[in-house]
Chain A
Amino acid sequence: MTEAQPKPKRRILVAMSGGVDSAVAAARLLEGGDEVIGLTLHLWDASGAQQVGRCCSAEDREDARRVCDHLGIAHYVVDERSSFRRQVVDPFVEAYRKGETPSPCVHCNRSLKLGGLAELARQFGAEKVATGHYARLRRDAQGLMRLHRGVDASKDQSYFLFGLPQTVLECLEFPLGEWNKEQVRAEAQRYALPNADKKDSQELCFVPDGDVQGFVQRESGPSPQGEVVDLQGQVLARHQGIAAFTVGQRRGLGFASGEARYVLRILPDRQQVVVGGAEDVVCLEAEGEGMQWREGFAPRAPFEAEVQIRYRHRAAPARIVPLAPGSVRVEFQEAQRALTPGQALVVYAGDEVLGGGFIRAKQSRSADCA
């Protein structure tokens, strides 16, 4: 009988948000014999009434510190507020003013969080960065790291993680990828983590009250008012700024109607919001821009895959047609509701992320959306 060799200790940097998932990730790695270092990015200072918020608040940094104290590991806070503003918040506000519905978590994960953490890991002499993301990494036969969905379909976060370069993927570890949320909660209890009962955050970390319109106005001044019109151009209502609208939205349109009405398009030049019926808000085609494919995959010819067009969307079968570099046309087998400019468009082969980009705003052509 051979004795079990103790696993050589690796030094791992764990990105701690203050939430349960990253706390359990840290506890697991520590139990597995790794040298674990907790790290929290200070991204945003909530102000005034927003201070009740999560994830970016002082309270969350304090929670992360308490978890690390509980585990007996070092904890550092790294101030990335200026990068967060420049790389995430300012473009977010700008996108809303352009009538888009941006995907700040994608940009944050890719450019700031994971890219930055991979760099920090190297600087801190750590082999890996671990996070509490629900996603999986697998090495393929060529030795490349590939990104897959987490096992818990309701928590899967691979949608936010496409486009990470190999250099970053090589640095990453997702200890919760094979788990579901119930197991993670149970582990949090087992480790007696001080934040075991903390609720998951639902809103954007820098808009904890969910009032995007109010946030955009605080950041960039009052929005121009405008009109809500139907497909015939008839004015149905006036609005206080296009940032309050997103394609597919049904509530809060500012007028009463017998049948359901949805936002179809937002036209920033005219500050107009175009609404229509359920039959108008579905689309067979989308265009993606800023596409990034996984290493070793550079499609030139059309191919079949599944495409996810927002976080809470079930990836739909489609034909992907590569256009100019970085752009694709997506032809869905079945029409999809609410293709929202600015949202990430992620291409999957089964559980694997092939790549992704962002839905491009179409010019005001209604013909291709019928």
Chain B
Amino acid sequence: MIYLDHHAASPLEEGVREACGRALREAWANPSSTHRLGQSARRLLEEARAQVAEACGVAPLDLIWTSGGTEACNWGVEGLCAGPPARLVTSTIEHPAVEESVQALARRGWRIERLKVEAGRPPGASAIEALGLGPADRLICQWVNHEVGTILPVEDYAAAAKRSGAQVFVDASQALGKLDFSGLVSQVDAFALAAPKIGGPAGAGALWLRRGVELPPRFVGGGQERGRRAGSPDVLACVGFGAAARRVGERLAQRERLGAMQRDFEAALEARGGLINGREAARVPTVSNVSFPGQRAALLVHALDIEGLCVSSGPACSSALAQPSPTVVAMYPGHEERAQAALRFSWGASTEWAELEAALACLDRVLARFRRPLASPPAQPSFSREARSDHD
């Protein structure tokens, strides 16, 4: 089995599994309990918080555990926009966890301004300046696109927004382990993280809030997370997140090697007739999103799985339905077919070139079948004659 779906969930390495196992044995008690077993759970939880904080270069105190990236995004976006509606600036290629929160805010009266990422190219910070934002307005933007890997210049955007006093939320879920956070932290008011994107377990995420920024509490009840999010965090998942965060430096150190792999892989995909989505601008080196014209990516994903290759089409959450990739739709308006065909290969620091080569061999076997239709289309009565094109 070849696993090239790291943008959905990066595999748990041995150190992460060990840390989770230790938490299972030593940190099962309620971390809010005052007895020694509770203290033991809390200690591991706080160690993990410090590990994640260090990976981002922030203070542990400002990092709040969440159930994952989706909660961190929902909460960050809706929390920063809890006041009276004003203008909200966001991109056209956000993850659904942000996009659907934005749409909920639009229904509450927020006016949405879109930063268009046409032909894969995000606009420069002058697009923010041109909007003439005020302190009541908000900038909500992802840093790294989950589907094609586009890097949005959020530091520049945030600096421009800051100058006008607007608060800034960044969805950094796909950025940790792929980009350097040192320039981001001073510019933004909140950012969201997700453990599975760096090889931590599903069930853990975090929201970072600039000191002094207060959001309405996510949950109420026991006053955990300094009263900001009641309920005990998932200690096992958080400990795994912390262990994965310790390896962020190693991940970053692989960027050059991964970039070379990405170039070679994409040359091979293009040689097979693929169109690389988002190749027009800077991307992270861990993903290739490719459209083979005329193919349905959802079917290719199944066929590749049967051949032993795990990849995806669109965000994992919606992949049961053959919806065209929202990112590719936004990047290439009017090219619905390209979006239907968008196939995502994503990898991480542990991936070797041999795996990408094996993936290409799987792809060749599958594409050969998909490109050779049944010898003759079955004769149809008038009823469905026009409809055969659907199984092209």
Contacts and interface: CB of A to CB of B under 8 A. Distances in A.
Interface of A: 11, 37, 42, 74, 76-80, 82-83, 86-87, 91, 107, 110-112, 115-116, 118-120, 122-125, 163-165, 167-168, 290, 292, 326, 357-358
A83 B322 CA distance: 12
B381 to A, nearest CB: 4
Given A78-B299, A163-B381, A168-B378, A123 B369 contact: yes
A-B pairs with the 9 shortest C-beta distances?
A290-B381, A79-B322, A165-B378, A111-B384, A87-B387, A76-B302, A83-B390, A119-B391, A79-B321
B321 A124 contact: no
B306 A124 contact: yes
B354 interface: no
B384 A123 contact: no
A317 B123 CA distance: 75
B301 to A, nearest CB: 9
B388 interface: yes
Nearest to B390: A83
Given A116-B391, A123-B369, A124-B302, 6 more contacts: A77-B320, A78-B299, A111-B378, A112-B384, A119-B391, A163-B381
Contacts of A326: 381
Contacts of B379: 165, 292
Contact of A83 (B374, B381, B387): B387
Contact of B306 (A74, A79, A80): A74
Contacts of B303: 123-125
Contact of A87 (B305, B375, B384): B384
Which residue of A78, A124, A358 has the most chain B CB atoms within 10 A of its CB atom? A124
A107 B384 contact: yes
B362 to A, nearest CB: 11
A343 to B, nearest CB: 13
B376 interface: yes
Given A115-B378, A120-B299, A125 B365 contact: yes
A124 B303 CA distance: 5
B381 A357 contact: yes
B373 interface: yes
A11 B365 CA distance: 16
Interface string B174-208: 00000000000000000000000000000000000
B311 to A, nearest CB: 14
B305 A123 contact: no
B381 A119 contact: no
Contacts of A164: 378
Interface of B: 298-299, 302-303, 305-307, 320-322, 365-366, 369-370, 373-376, 378-384, 387-388, 390-391
- Chain B interface helix/strand/loop/mixed: helix
B374 A86 contact: no
Given A78-B298, A119-B373, A111 B305 contact: no
B303 to A, nearest CB: 5
A111 B388 CA distance: 8
Contact of B383 (A37, A107, A125): A107
A311 B293 CA distance: 42
A79 B298 contact: yes
A118 to B, nearest CB: 7
19 contacts: A74-B306, A76-B305, A78-B302, A80-B390, A83-B387, A83-B390, A87-B387, A111-B384, A112-B387, A115-B391, A116-B391, A118-B374, A119-B374, A119-B391, A124-B303, A164-B378, A167-B375, A168-B378, A290-B383
A42 B369 contact: no
B231 to A, nearest CB: 29
A115 B387 CA distance: 11
Contacts of A120: 299
Nearest to B370: A123
Contact of B387 (A37, A74, A86): A86
B389 to A, nearest CB: 10
Nearest to A40: B320
B306 A125 contact: yes
B381 A167 contact: no
Contacts of A77: 320
A123 B299 contact: yes
Contacts of A125: 303, 306-307, 365-366, 369
Contacts of A358: 381
Contacts of B381: 163, 290, 292, 326, 357-358
A87 B98 CA distance: 36
Nearest to A37: B306
A125 B364 CA distance: 13
Contacts of A112: 384, 387
Most buried by A among B307, B376, B384: B384
Contacts of B391: 83, 115-116, 119
Nearest to A86: B387
A68 to B, nearest CB: 13
Contacts of A110: 378, 380, 384
A86 B389 CA distance: 12
Contacts of B322: 78-79
